[in-house]
Amino acid sequence: MTVKYNAYQGEPGAFSDAACQQFAPDLVPLPCATFDRVFQAVSSGEAEAAMVPVENAIAGRVDDVYRLLPDMPMSIVAEHFLPIEMQLMTLPGADPEKLRVVRSHPMALGQCRTMINRRGLLAETAGDTAGFAKALSQSKEMDAAAIAPAVAAERYGLEIIERDVQDIDRNFTRFFTLMLEDKVAWPDLLAGPVITSIVYRVRNIPAALFKSLGGFATNSVNMIKLESYQEDATFRATRFQAEFEGHPDEPPVRRALEELGYFSSDMRLLGVFPAAAYRASQSLSN
């Protein structure tokens, strides 16, 4: 039987590893050092899919993913929401009162500022959460701590000295499953709620962005996300990534995209994928 892999950024025990195992159990997680390597693994056929984090409820978007995604020959096929619980861990026997530094991925550090400030720790960035947990386990740094998932402490023999150190309890990270475009089919129009993701550049005319969005308002298409990216050092070339509810074959969505086309120099469809059940649960709780 051919083994199929799901590429993710980080070491075994990272949150992305947990997302692979929870949301794609039929694929074997393939750890990669960088997001570039993740995308390369899928592009080359080494991996069937990729599991990448795109935004966190506290720390915001993952810039490295959004920088790479628009130019990759891949499509978003699914979204997932993973509960994030951060643990503060040290080498066994370390004195919690003598800690000097804490290391983790920048997104993880940004989610735990309250604890870091309360303990007066120096925050230093590392490649990923589990990666520094592994590095700490191989060191003799009794004055250093890592922020990582509980499974990383178990895997690398570290001691959790404070649990659930994230700033808020309702902390989720949104992940995308990505596959090569030629392997992807859109969900059926009647299959249920879907999200459409696009990336586009506006034409260099006055009020182009405002006009490009007008069709979504007039056709009652609910836009749920709009991000901008500067593409060069001049700060004049801007690319926008947008997500909205609905299928491109639905007449209101089709009309909105046609109007957007009048005011954009190019547009690419990043994905049409089922809306995660988490969205419905949040709507009911609000």
The full length of the chain comes to 286
Active site residue 234: no
Q: Which two tokens stand for residue 228?
A: 């901008």
Active site residue 15: no
Catalytic residue among 173, 177, 216, 273: 173
Give the E-state strand segments of 149-251 in sequence order: 159-162, 172-180, 194-202, 223-230, 238-245
Largest CA distance in the chain: 65
Catalytic residue among 35, 175, 244, 263: 175
Q: How far is CA 20 from CA 53, 72, 80, 168, 279, in A?
A: 11, 21, 10, 24, 20
Q: Phi and psi for 109 in degrees, rounded to 5? A: -60, -40
Decide: residue 135, CB within 10 A, 0-12 exposed, 13-18 middle, 19+ buried.
middle
The three-class DSSP label of residue 193 is coil
* Pair 185, 166: CB distance under 8 Å: no
Q: How crowded is the C-beta side of 207, counted as CA atoms within 13 Å?
A: 3
Catalytic residues: 173, 175
